[in-house]
Structures are given as C-alpha cells and as structure tokens.
Amino acid sequence: MEDTSLEIRSIFRGILMSRSEAERFLMCAEMFDTARCLALTSMPKDLSAADQKRYIYERTYGEPLPEDFFSRK
C-alpha cells in the first residue's frame, strides 16, 4: 500500500540523496541500533544468552538463526 504521492517520494529521495555517503550510512546505522533496542525491550526476560542472540537475530532478519551458528569459526 502506497499512501505517499510520487511527487513527495521524489522530493524525499532527493533530500536523502543530497546527503553524503557517510551521512546516509550513519542514518542507516542509527536506524539499525534503534530497531535493535526495540527488539531488546520486547525480549522475554528469562532467556539464556544463546536464546537472547537467537531472539535478536530472528527479530532483526525475520528468519530463524541457522542451527550451526554457534559452532561456526
């Protein structure tokens, strides 16, 4: 569903693209950090360390953590 006109989307894209690559990267990093904080606050309190990592991964990437993740080198 798109509720923003093409004109406004074009203006917004122009504003974003007028920023430097470093500024755009920093924006993405900050959004990622915010999403991680939101996931952490919604995480059940009684999870083990491994289950916490699994929970954060699944909330971030929308898929189960690979079974062999902890055994990878």
The pLDDT tens digits for 5-53 are: 999 999 999 999 999 999 999 999 999 999 999 999 999 999 998 899 8
Quick check: 63 pLDDT over 90? yes
pLDDT of 73: 62
Is pTM beyond 0.75? Reply is no
Residue 55 to residues 6, 24, 31, 32, 38, Cα–Cα distance (Å):
37, 28, 19, 16, 12
Where in the chain are the domains?
A: 1-31, 43-73
pLDDT of 68: 83
Helix (H, G, I), strand (E, B) or coil at 58: helix
Q: Which amino acid is at 4?
A: T
